Amino acid sequence: MDAEELRELERQRLVWSVEGRVAEAHAVHADDFVIVTPSAIEISVGGRDFPELRAWHLDCYRCTATGWQLRWSQATAIT
């Protein structure tokens, strides 16, 4: 897999996550996947808007015998 294919995999994983397609998104996650989020995130559901969160993301993929897997992801709030 080249760099562009890995970028496309990450874009697709984000689309699946936003669309609530959990099974597809989780298929990319390693068994020992870790996510680190900024503190004080507020989440609302049931028709209410999500508060805006400006953040930069750092994702670490690893190549396994079955393909690329997301091992670690960190979002850091931009203030």
Give per-residue pLDDT as tens, 19-78. Answer: 989 899 989 999 998 888 776 555 556 766 666 678 888 899 999 898 889 999 988 888
Instruction: Say what the pTM is.
Output: 0.66
**Higher per-residue pLDDT: 13 or 38:** 13
User: Helix, strand, or coil here: 23?
Assistant: helix
Separation of alpha carbons 15 and 2, rounded Å: 20
Domain containing residue 43: 3-77
Specify whether the CB–CB gap between 33 and 61 falls below 8 A: no
For the chain, how many structural domains are there in total?
Answer: 1
Beta bridge partners of 68: 63
Q: Which pLDDT value is given to residue 1?
A: 67
Q: Is the pLDDT of residue 17 over 90?
A: no
With a CB cutoff of 8 Å and minimum separation 6, the contacts of 34 are 71, 72, 73
Measured CA distances, 31 to 9, 18, 71 (Å): 17, 21, 8
Separation of alpha carbons 32 and 34, rounded Å: 6
